[in-house]
Amino acid sequence: MTIFQKVKANIDRNAALFNVQLQAYNAALAHYTEFKDWNHRETLIVMPTGSGKTGVMSILPFGISNGKVLIITPGKIVRKTVYSHFDSVQNPEKTFWIKRNIIFDRKSLPKSYLYQGYNPKNDGAKEITIKKLREADIVITNVHKLGSSNEEVNLMRLVDQDFFDMIIIDEAHHVAATMWQDALDYFKASKIIKLTATPFRSDKQAISTHEYDPIFEYTLGEAITDGLVKNIVKQEAVPGELSFTDRNTGKKYNLQDAKIELGNDFVSKSIAMSESCSKQVIEKTKTILSNKRKSYPKHQVLAVTCNDDHAQDVCRWFNELDLTATYVSVKTLSDKEIEQRLNDFANGIYDVMVSIQMLGEGYDNPNISIISLFRPFKTLGPYAQAVGRGLRKIMAPDVTPLDNFCNVVYHQELGLEKLWEYYKEQETYGQILLKQKKDLVEQLSFEFDELGFVEKKPNPYSAKKDGESEEDLSSLNASFLLDVSAFSPHNLGKNDSFTQDGIENYNQALDAVLQTEQDKLEQYRLKLQEMVDKGFLSIKEAETLLEKHEIETQNKVNTSYDTFNDLIVAESLRKDFINWVNTKLEEFFKMSSLAKEDIDLVRDYSLVDNEKINNIGFISRNIRQSLYEESKKNISLYNDADFARAKDRVIEKLSFWLKQYPKKEE
């Protein structure tokens, strides 16, 4: 039995975890419980930056993986950040498992290994590396260690195809790259879980591999509503009169003429590279930073630029305007220099970090509260990554609510308005989704006896409705440019039957056991520390006693979870089903010509009671009735096979409605 099955991680009912982390874990547990075939080995989980993806990666293997786990990150910065939460050998106290009371016994922690290749010039280096790989429960590496032609780097040259049972891919929108796909094709892992903040690759192709994906999706709006990330405020650097001069011909343009004759893209690039326009943005940034630091002095700025030369220019301009700034670049700086500058920035030595795109993913610094954009963006993905660096919430005790707002600053004429609209609507969208999910729980939990309804099947003869790169900026140079969802069904549901005495008693009993054991362990730690302080025990003696007590605590937790295991899995599957249906409904209404709040379906398909219910309520009711018609069970009584079939049925239903009401062509 592997460590991930032997050790019972304290996940269910753990108050130290975000609810979204529990939901993501439940989704993975449900998927691999319900669908065990090879065709469904890959799954997709969508979560925004700052909502706890690294924590999700930490708990995913427990109760799901039957062997070793490989975690693949897109780059060195992310790899190092992720490993810091998994380093059970050198820093067990800093692991996510210990900090969040996932595992109480440090000796029961999974062994994690940061794979970086080996030096073939050192005798026995290859054999030592293979030994470490075999001893590890979790191997963490970045994608460049998978597809290299060098044997001393390529992990696939060192281990067999069945070496891992689970692969977790962080920032999975890179999965289109050949190196990623080669690794997935090589390894025969039975479980591949992809995490991303966007369900689309950089080439705009979907990451999903089957109709059940994403198995879990948590939107930025929900994260803002739940208070897990900063909210976002936009400030433009509004210009006065803009004029442009063609460097080659000397011809002068005003703003409107330049847009007409040369195009918006050319104008936005010219503004991005312009010293005067950039200094407008810097002045605005400086004012905002000064105001924010009145309540919290550690606020910092991330500036995003077009290329290396541009980054150095912007860095110089910030310094000229009395803000300490540095930049990072993989082209002009060594790994050691980059690491030193990032550490200095994290320690508050600099006000501003200037970057191109290398901080687009995985860089974890919650003090970044201002994102200053000095480049145009064509697509949402890179724009979202840049803004995402400022969304991690500041958890310091002395912050005010205003400190947890992220300010996005850019020039008015960079052409970013459409991308900004996505963020502007996210908080409202999150509130809609939360209410929609609550209504859906009531809808799908409605109980009726077997003859208490007649399913309304759509009339196939009813009249149908009419069917309704990122550009590379690496070589951009100023010399080439101008100078310059809710529904409210009434009387449809009642309290979920799963919240009756049985499940409540289980929850109360498990909570009591876990809280008691946590309290006892903490009291014992304090007692040992007091005895060390008084000289009654040496540090080594106290450590030995604490390790023994941790083992006893972990054993009690293991026993408690074993006792309630069937109930835990059953509740996880049920919760996941509600979340999954909500996600699929959102997908449907994005692809269909139907609007949630309209009543097209009531008008087109008569109901027995002729109730005026909106489209989302109609479809939710139709799904509920269809599920009961097929299984003759309320969802609280479903087993894993029932949930698998129910998901198939939901997809069938939504596919039918989508054919009836496709999106109108624009």
Q: What is the mean pLDDT of residues 480-498?
A: 37
Phi/psi for 473 (5° steps) reads -110, 10
103 vs 201 pLDDT, higher one: 103
SS3 138: strand
Average pLDDT, the chain: 80
431 vs 173 pLDDT, higher one: 431
SS3 83: helix
Looking at the DSSP bridge assignments, the partners of residue 138 are 69, 112
For the cut 80, the answer to whether the pLDDT of residue 29 exceeds it is yes
pLDDT in tens, 591-615: 999 998 888 887 666 555 556 678 8
For the cut 80, the answer to whether the pLDDT of residue 124 exceeds it is yes
> Per residue in 594-613, is it b (16+ CB within 10 Å) or e — as a string?
bebeeebbbebeeeeeeeeb
Measured at the CA of 282, the angle between CA 278 and CA 288, to 5 degrees, comes to 145
- Please state, for a pLDDT cut of 90, what percent of the chain lies above it: 29
For the cut 50, the answer to whether the pLDDT of residue 470 exceeds it is no
- Residue 665 Rama label (left phi>0; alpha psi -120 to 50; beta): beta
- In what side-by-side order are the strands of the sheet with 42-46? 112-114, 138-142, 68-73, 164-169, 191-196, 42-46, 216-217
pLDDT band at 122 (very low <50, low <70, confident <90, very high): confident
pLDDT in tens, 417-440: 777 777 667 767 777 777 777 777
pLDDT score, position 197 = 80
Q: What is the mean pLDDT of residues 387-392?
A: 86
pLDDT score, position 606 = 55
pLDDT band at 504 (very low <50, low <70, confident <90, very high): low
CB atoms within 10 A of CB 559: 12
For the cut 50, the answer to whether the pLDDT of residue 457 exceeds it is no
Q: What is the mean pLDDT of residues 488-508?
A: 40
For the cut 60, the answer to whether the pLDDT of residue 485 exceeds it is no
**E strand residue ranges, 74-215:** 112-114, 138-142, 164-169, 191-196
For the cut 70, the answer to whether the pLDDT of residue 622 exceeds it is yes
Q: What one-letter code names the amino acid at 507?
A: N
For the cut 80, the answer to whether the pLDDT of residue 266 exceeds it is no
Q: What is the mean pLDDT of residues 287-305?
A: 93
Rounded to the nearest 10 degrees, the angle between the axes of helix 615-631 and helix 426-444 is 40
pLDDT band at 499 (very low <50, low <70, confident <90, very high): very low
Please tell me the distance from the alpha carbon of residue 38 to that of residue 33, in angstroms, as a whole number.
13
pLDDT band at 133 (very low <50, low <70, confident <90, very high): very high
- DSSP annotation of 601 reads H
Selection from 162, 142, 192 nearest residue 67 by Cα: 162
> How far, CA to CA in Å, does 360 sit from each of 168, 323, 533, 575, 650?
20, 22, 46, 33, 36
For the cut 50, the answer to whether the pLDDT of residue 42 exceeds it is yes
pLDDT score, position 474 = 61
64 vs 471 pLDDT, higher one: 64
Selection from 296, 479, 470 nearest residue 393 by Cα: 296
pTM attached to this predicted model: 0.77
For the cut 60, the answer to whether the pLDDT of residue 71 exceeds it is yes
Instruction: Tell me the pairing of strands 252-254 and 243-245.
Output: antiparallel
pLDDT score, position 651 = 93
pLDDT score, position 495 = 28
Structure tokens at 590: 């994005």
HSE-CB for 530 with a 13 A CA cutoff: 6
**E strand residue ranges, 265-375:** 300-304, 325-327, 352-355, 368-373
pLDDT in tens, 323-381: 999 998 878 888 888 889 988 999 999 999 998 865 645 567 899 999 999 888 877 77
Please tell me the distance from the alpha carbon of residue 191 to that of residue 654, in angstroms, as a whole number.
27
The secondary structure of 400-459, three-state, reads CHHHHEEEEEEEHHHCCHHHHHHHHCHHHHHHHHHHHHHHHHHHHCCCCCCCCCCCCCCC
pLDDT score, position 515 = 77
Q: Considering only 2-11, 321-330, 423-432, 649-658, which range has the smallest mean pLDDT?
A: 423-432
Please tell me the distance from the alpha carbon of residue 604 to that of residue 600, in angstroms, as a whole number.
6
**475, burial (CB in 10 Å: exposed 0-12, middle 13-18, buried 19+):** exposed
pLDDT in tens, 174-219: 555 566 777 888 899 889 999 988 755 554 455 667 888 889 999 8
Looking at the DSSP bridge assignments, the partners of residue 592 are 662
- Please state, for a pLDDT cut of 70, what percent of the chain lies above it: 79
Domains of the chain: 3-219 (3.40.50.300), 231-424 (3.40.50.300), 426-468+485-666 (no CATH)
Please tell me the distance from the alpha carbon of residue 461 to that of residue 340, in angstroms, as a whole number.
69
Rounded to the nearest 10 degrees, the angle between the axes of helix 539-563 and helix 501-533 is 180
Please tell me the distance from the alpha carbon of residue 343 to that of residue 423, in angstroms, as a whole number.
30
pLDDT band at 467 (very low <50, low <70, confident <90, very high): very low
